[in-house]
Amino acid sequence: MNRTGTFSIVAAAAVAVWVLPGAALAAEADYHHVHLTTSNATEATKWYTEYLDCQPLTDRDDGVDCFGTEVVFESRATLGSSQRTGIDHISFSYADLTAKMEELASVGVRGSGVRLQRFDDGSTLRDAPGLFKYGFIFDPWGTRIELVEDSDTLGFHHIHLSSTDPAATLQWYQERFGGEPAQLRGQLDGLRMGDVWLLVMRHAEGVPAATAGRAIDHIAFAVPSMGPAVGELKGANVEFLEQPGVPEGGRTSAQRAIVYGPDQVSVEVVEAGFAGVASTMEGVTDITTELRDYTAPRTPWGTPDFQGVWTGDAADGIPMERADDVGNAAILTPEQAAARRERGTLGSIWGYEAEWRDTTLGYVKSAPSRQVSMVVDPPDGRIPPMTAEGERLAAEERAARLPLPEGPEHLSSWVRCITRSLVPTPGVYNNGFQIMQGPNHVAMQVEMLHETRVIPTDGSPFVGSDIASWRGDARGHWDGDTLVVEIRNFNGKAPFQGSSDALTMTERYTRTGPDTLEYRFTIDDPKVFTRPWTGMFTYVRDEAQYELVEYACHEGNYGMTNILSGSRAKEAEASR
């Protein structure tokens, strides 16, 4: 298939009459697995199990068995989609592809969902005469996956290479790793390797991108013994990217090597008994939960120095309240924290590529926080119950919601570009936070919605209680090394967890290390909550990697126009 999804593979007719070279390697090699790069192997295993009907491997936690074919995941940052690389996509076959595609379309892209690739006419399925129906989807990490309806081979169907010379590429794989030259449905030249097809399409222009580090990193073949195989490969002048040996973290004593195939494809050669590499998170330190004694540096006028650019990226994914599945754990394991981060990232802006997501695993300086919940008081990690008045106000708010917004005033303060939240809880991007200090004031700017607060620390009084605002009136003072900020006079139009205009909010900022700043917020709203409660997370200094960028909310706020025009369109449709 070419890049538009139409079948255009042209392979030389001579493929059908290739003469096997007789090499021992080709005679004894077997297809072994396909190796994908994902941000988190745990979540990838869940995705392929849920949506493509694979099963988790029984002897390891970094892969799945897809109808007898192994798909292995490596947890690290990806360099991009598999599309237009030397391994463009992998394929699965279903008996009723129309039903399967409808099932996946109903999932949608939000969360760890499914992105469907549409053809030029907007359809998601095409029928290749004499071949089969086919369509494309993407997993959340950029692997392009073709779904076909081929009753002859159900389950994992094929690996599709992209090449400048398809016939030569097929011959290269056959001479080194065997396989039976055949034609799929009499139309597509390829190699039959057990139950898996190896197909090749002609690359449209130029040279395919290298697979190393991309969503499909490599394919693997198994040999009985590494020594003879290496000898034959070197005798054929095959370039080695990784010399043979037992890899660090190898689960068995079996060796592996990685060679350079045609069209910049990485090919792994593994010895019989190879069971992959065990990944570890040793050496990854979550500095947000590491306790230590620390004395903050001072400004020239003697107060603790908090100045600089900080980011809440490490805290992304921490739920407001303790989750039921963590029991009484004080902190998460590194593996649990990484999996939670990945779920949070995918659940927010899955449709964006990795470069839009500041918190994508492997891209940020700090490890994901192992903190169990934002709420630290009450000790159970739960927001206290509401008062009767709070319940009444919440019910009124729910009843007042319109099924379709009539105007901008019926949308959230975030959509209206007024304020995102009274508490700057981290999201998947724009978590920057900059502090600037003077002898009598502290200025704090949050990146998301570009808000700057100038907080007096000179003991000046609050404004009158008759003057209320979206973010309230803030006054600060120093309690040892901690900056305490009390905020009153909220107008209640941007509630936090249901708060009202009776809210008094107290923030506490404390440097806990050279690169960490603890942020605590206490919500005291006797109208709504039966007791005050406190949340906490930690900022990380990251001036070398992070800078605040303009959040041009109004200038690029197409969402407002689209939401309202969409609402009017729905009303018009309903009235017909």
3-state secondary structure 527-560: CCECCCEEEEEEEEECCCCCCCCCCCCCCCCHHH
Q: What is the pLDDT of residue 9?
A: 29
Overall average pLDDT of the 161-182 stretch: 94
Cα–Cα distance measured from residue 117 to residue 139, given in angstroms and rounded to the nearest whole number: 11
Q: Does residue 249 have a pLDDT over 60?
A: yes
pTM above 0.75, yes or no: yes
Q: What is the pLDDT of residue 356?
A: 63
3-state secondary structure of 389: helix
Q: Does residue 16 have a pLDDT over 50?
A: no
Q: Does residue 251 have a pLDDT over 60?
A: yes
Q: Residue 415: CB partners within 8 Å, gap ≥ 6?
A: 557, 559, 560, 563
What confidence tens digit (pLDDT) does each residue in 368-410 have? Answer: 999 999 999 999 999 999 999 999 999 999 999 999 999 999 9
pLDDT category at 71 given cuts 50, 70, 90 is very high
What confidence tens digit (pLDDT) does each residue in 115-136 have? Answer: 889 999 999 999 999 899 999 9
Q: Does residue 96 have a pLDDT over 50?
A: yes
pLDDT cut 70: percent of the chain above it = 91
Cα–Cα distance measured from residue 460 to residue 439, given in angstroms and rounded to the nearest whole number: 13
CA dihedral (419, 486, 489, 465) in degrees, to 10, reads -150
Q: Does residue 353 have a pLDDT over 80?
A: no
pLDDT category at 553 given cuts 50, 70, 90 is confident
Cα–Cα distance measured from residue 467 to residue 168, given in angstroms and rounded to the nearest whole number: 78
Fold of 13-271: 2,3-Dihydroxybiphenyl 1,2-Dioxygenase; domain 1 (3.10.180)
pLDDT category at 176 given cuts 50, 70, 90 is very high
Residue 158 burial (CB count, 10 A) = 25
Least confident of 6-15, 284-293, 353-362, 551-560: 6-15
- Domain borders along the chain are 13-271, 308-541
Q: Does residue 1 have a pLDDT over 70?
A: no
What confidence tens digit (pLDDT) does each residue in 413-446 have? Answer: 988 889 999 999 998 888 999 999 999 999 999 9
pLDDT category at 2 given cuts 50, 70, 90 is very low
Q: Does residue 363 have a pLDDT over 90?
A: no
Overall average pLDDT of the 16-45 stretch: 74
Q: What is the pLDDT of residue 450?
A: 85
